Structure 1
Amino acid sequence: MSEFPKQFDALLDKYTELLIGETSPEKKEMVTQYALYTFIAKHMPALVKHWNSLHPDGKEEMKKIVGEIKELNEVHREEVNRKKKDE
């Protein structure tokens, strides 16, 4: 069996940790959805626009996820900067 699934999962863990400072399964899933959605939005904006029009509730949920990730990222960056100043 390939090691790739474990290796890729470790990449997602680390990305989640660096982005928001924690790696709970719920937060990792949220970050995965965020990363994939933003990638698709950048590379196929017409597809995302179409999906948003078909699924306005999904679009609203994605907005909540993006907002929460931004907040968690800001808090995490402040903590990291504070630790650097304390060193």
Structure 2
Amino acid sequence: MAYDMEQKIEALVEKYTELLVGESDETLQREVKSWIIYSFIAKQMPPLVKHWNQLYPDGKQEMMEMIKKIKELNEKQRLQQKTDE
């Protein structure tokens, strides 16, 4: 991938993270990117994710915790937006 395109994708992930959870530090961006990839593959190729989950049960647990964290931050962000209106 060209460096210019990589920068554009990173900018997209940064903005998406900010809109999703209300902030966009590097750690959150990595977590959101991992969540996006995992979710996409889970929808497109469920048997692959099932296999991965069996191979890496600790990875699955870490992913579930990350997803829970993102969902909680998103819910907090939505509530904050409602109170700001």
Deviation, structure 1 residue 56: 0.3
Aligned to 2:12: 11
Runs of at least 4 residues off by over 3 Å: none
Distance 1:48 1:7 in 2: 28
Amino acid at match of 2:64: K
Give unmatched runs, 5+ long, in structure 2.
Answer: none
CA RMSD of aligned residues (A): 1.0
Aligned to 1:72: 73
Amino acid at match of 2:70: I
Deviation, structure 1 residue 6: 1.2
Give unmatched runs, 5+ long, in structure 1.
Answer: none
Question: Structure 1 length as normaliser, TM-score?
Answer: 0.92
Whose Rg is larger?
Answer: 1
Alignment of 1:75-86 (within 5 A): 75-84=76-85
Aligned to 1:62: 63
Indicate the SS of the match to 1:81.
helix
Distance 2:82 2:10 in 1: 27
